[in-house]
Structure 1
């Protein structure tokens, strides 16, 4: 065990009293031995903290665990604090309403050990309902309708991360050093993961294994699945700003693809706002930019250590 790299499982918890103990149980169920849990209750207003403490009282002798309960600061600030508190060489992202699947940690650690240029690796998920019943065998293919073949190459990963964000649930293992390179999570964002993975993909630091590493739970309160129109508009406007901000990181044709995505997101916003003329204009720009990107050759892209 002493020769295995330590994995810190980072769990931001917020108002998940019904699910958090299942999340923590899954850490024990995964057989990878060199692990610790770092969990922060980000100002929950339900009994999440009480459930976590009760679990620690029962199982705290079985795994190293650090738990903090404090006022709400938001998901990105909580993730940054979790990373600062962690001791591991690798950070496994968790979520207090989802749970890990046995074998996922070992598979992801093995991938990063054999791909030293990669700073992070994502896997797939299974999708379950609030009671743990399986809804989909692949979160990427069945829920997000992604073509997983794109993830076989660096160029494909860049295109996939830009054009169809298909990462559902806590499926990422990151090197501590990779977070230092991309400046961790951008605080103030409500949907922070696309921003992080755009930065990783831009430097070819993101890999993929076609292995289900977690169960992603759909329970009606998922932030990214809200049906509330005003909230959806705010989330989309934030995504558009992220795309504009990260555009300079990419070479062509991915920069043009990201510019096209800005128009596509803008079309979604206009649709929700009931502006059909703007929808048509945005979609025309989107189609033209996608066609232009398809005609442009890919620029040579250095590996992360050559950048």
Structure 2
């Protein structure tokens, strides 16, 4: 296996830390420092500057000049192609069997990567391991202990079972920040990230969840940084409508990947998104129609889930 080290006699697979970088001159060096600080020994960094217009590219080059002999680094600087295309290119360039998804404005927390590798090594049926985040401000000062609980108000208990993860990914999107370690072979099955989508992350996790391929470890594996560039929400109604329509289309496109009751639950979610679109378009009758369908389908999904659980208990 390419890049396997040995720690205490146990083989340690090579992990490629993938960093898509864009206009994060103030933060990218902290991101790269955190990879060095992570005690997991068998790792490399693959980083692409996706057409930054600030000094991000030079900050990366300066960091490599200082630390390039401490960890293998592949660095590409090119024009802007967007996050999904950049992630696909990063994965194609990586040598590791495990891929750690990063972000140039966030940073890893020591021990998190090792814990995720341990999880996947002991759960061969899982393709990806996710964790929680510590939320920090632009200076690195802690704002929230748990991004899932305090920022997204998620029920972390849902993430302890395959059923719960499926329901959470469909209805309660709370996987924020670079918290994912994924097996390379998973990308061959789910076909990587869909280029051209703004909701490429939800689309990606829906495809993983459909295979019951996501595992969760209840610990902070990275710091998610809140700063001006990533907290602003568009006030342009047309842009918001476009984003919601795209998310609704993603839900409809992935219906066929799920069995019941999750297919019905995802269909319900598509109507919920449709209601938001209708509200922004001031079509109140359409809001009523979509919300009625949403409520009815949620009830059907709940009843079907209960029936499935009873049948499983009798088997």
**Mapping of residues 41-60 of structure 1, within 5 Å:** 41-60=49-68
Counterpart position of 1:37? 45
- Which residue, 87, 93, 109 being the options, matches 2:95? 87
- Which residue, 302, 310, 314 being the options, matches 1:294? 302
| CA–CA separation in structure 2 for the residues paired with 1:228 and 1:121 | 34
Larger radius of gyration: 2
Deviations 1:197-236 (A, max 9, x none): 100100111111111101111112228x523333332222
1:273 Cα offset (Å): 3.0
- Which residue, 132, 144, 147 being the options, matches 2:152? 144
| Secondary structure of 1:145's aligned partner | coil
Counterpart position of 1:179? 187
| CA–CA separation in structure 1 for the residues paired with 2:34 and 2:107 | 6
| CA–CA separation in structure 2 for the residues paired with 1:241 and 1:141 | 28
| CA–CA separation in structure 2 for the residues paired with 1:18 and 1:242 | 34
Runs of 5+ in structure 2 lacking a partner?
310-315
| CA–CA separation in structure 2 for the residues paired with 1:198 and 1:279 | 25
| CA–CA separation in structure 1 for the residues paired with 2:135 and 2:286 | 35
Deviations 1:240-270 (A, max 9, x none): 1110100100001100000000011112222
Tell me if 1:194 matches 2:218.
Answer: no
Q: Is the 8 A contact 1:40 1:70 kept in 2?
A: yes
* TM-score, length-scaled by structure 2: 0.92
* TM-score, length-scaled by structure 1: 0.94
| CA–CA separation in structure 2 for the residues paired with 1:142 and 1:67 | 35
| CA–CA separation in structure 2 for the residues paired with 1:58 and 1:190 | 35
Give the alignment's Cα RMSD to 1 decimal.
1.4
1:274 Cα offset (Å): 3.2
**Mapping of residues 64-143 of structure 1, within 5 Å:** 64-143=72-151
| Secondary structure of 1:207's aligned partner | strand
Q: Is the 8 A contact 1:220 1:226 kept in 2?
A: no
Counterpart position of 1:226? 233
Tell me if 1:250 matches 2:223.
Answer: no
Runs of 5+ in structure 1 lacking a partner?
301-307
| CA–CA separation in structure 1 for the residues paired with 2:262 and 2:87 | 28
